[in-house]
Amino acid sequence: MRFSLTMASTLVLSVLSTTAQDGPGNGPANRPAAPFPSADFVLRDAPHKEPRSGVQLQGGQLTIASGVGTPTTINALSFSADGKILVAGKDFGRVVIWDVEKKKFLRAIDTDQGMVRAVAVSPDGRSIATGGSQDNNSVKIWDVSTGNMLWKFAEARAEIGHLFFDMQGKWLAISDNTSNLYILDMAEHRSIVTLPDIHAVAMARDGESLISTDGKEFAVWTAPSWKKTQSLPMPNKFSLLLAANSATDQLAIYERRVVKVEQLNTGKTILERADLVSKNFTWRPEFAAFSSDGSLLYLSIDGRLLILDVKSGDTCSGPVMYSGAAGLSPDGQWFAGAKDDSIVSRERTDGVWVWSTNRLLEKCSVGRPSRTAP
């Protein structure tokens, strides 16, 4: 249902054009957002017979079939640790795997999981985990080279929200939509810890710990015991955890249309931006990740990709993507976003748009010393 409502608001705006969007980065204290350059390349699904879309525009009337989805929609992206493998979770149970270096389609897997909303690639790129809206909320582990299912986790109590591997590939963290967090032992194929009442969770940038919220505190859970090793009271119960970087003591949170970066140990606000979304935006950022040094926050918010300079507050904004799926490779080499076509698009532009972060940051001039005009 979340997909249908999000797509409905996006598509109605596209069709009717009744509300002008405010571009991110237009606050009085910050310079206007610089635009992304064109993507370095686009990765597309292989040609295949696509089922009928649940979103149709007929005679000027928009119809949306709840829970059906659209064949080209990408809901989630995940890179391997070295940035060489990229996986996309799509509607109708389809998962697509690409070789990023060769810009090559590797294979597609029919998961039978409905709208695949969560995917994760093991650090070595040899296996992937998927979770969707069907098949009794299962999480399935697949072999990348063959496309065969290796094993299945069937203990989740609701639709899967997020999947995270640790940096060694020993553990898989699973969060479901009834606020349960499961830690799986990948070698023994079993659940070893279940943590209830976890409203949101993010894997720390180093891949060695999880940061969670329960509406009362931020907590850090560390491998291999997965016991709570640190906590910080939440000043606002509406805080939504977006990303964490324990090495630089940073949290990214979202509160009532405001993006904040805070210190994990003290709760001190480092940066606050209240002008990154349009006035009609009623959802939340769907992706966020810090750079390894914590100087940048990569976001997918309000249908756009965004890079936020944590020190200066400057931003760089991508084109309208009509999608919230995005991914930053753990090695920091690639930033990718899913592009959905508008219902009124005249040419097909859907796929995964991929930028080299070196080129992207050079063109955007964020994360670098300010240049003075000659």
98-150 pLDDT per residue, tens: 999 999 999 999 999 999 999 999 999 999 999 998 999 999 999 999 999 99
Residue 374 maps to a domain: no
Residue 39 maps to a domain: yes
- Give CA–CA dist 104/273, Å, rounded: 38
Place of tokens 């999981």: 113
- Give CA–CA dist 219/229, Å, rounded: 8
The residue range of the domain holding 281 is 2-364
Place of tokens 């990154």: 276
Residue-wise pLDDT for 55-114, tens only, equals 777 777 777 777 677 878 999 999 999 999 999 999 999 999 999 999 999 999 999 999
Residue 326 maps to a domain: yes
Residue 123 maps to a domain: yes
Residue 340 maps to a domain: yes
Question: What are the structure tokens assigned to 248, written together?
Answer: 């630089």
Residue-wise pLDDT for 2-21, tens only, equals 333 333 333 333 333 333 33
Quote the number of domains for the chain.
Answer: 1
Place of tokens 């935006």: 281
Q: What is the mean pLDDT of residues 168-175?
A: 93
Q: How many residues does the chain have?
A: 374
Residue-wise pLDDT for 214-268, tens only, equals 888 999 998 888 889 988 888 777 788 999 998 899 999 999 899 999 998 888 9
Rounded to the nearest 5 degrees, what angle is found at the Cα of 323, between the Cα atoms of 318 and 327? Answer: 70
Residue (of 297, 291, 289) closest to 270 by Cα position: 297
Percent pLDDT > 70 in the chain is: 90
Residue 369 maps to a domain: no
Question: What are the structure tokens assigned to 201, written together?
Answer: 């969770």
Residue (of 55, 120, 61, 56) closest to 91 by Cα position: 55
Neighbour-count burial for 206-226, b at 16+ CB within 10 Å, e otherwise:
ebebbbbbbeeebbbbebeeb
Query: How far is C-alpha 100 from the chain's CA centre?
Result: 18
Task: Check which CATH number belongs to the domain holding 37 and give it.
Answer: 2.130.10.10
pTM over 0.85: yes
Query: How far is C-alpha 263 from the chain's CA centre?
Result: 22
Residue 103 maps to a domain: yes
Residue 142 maps to a domain: yes
CB 352 within 8 A of CB 43: yes
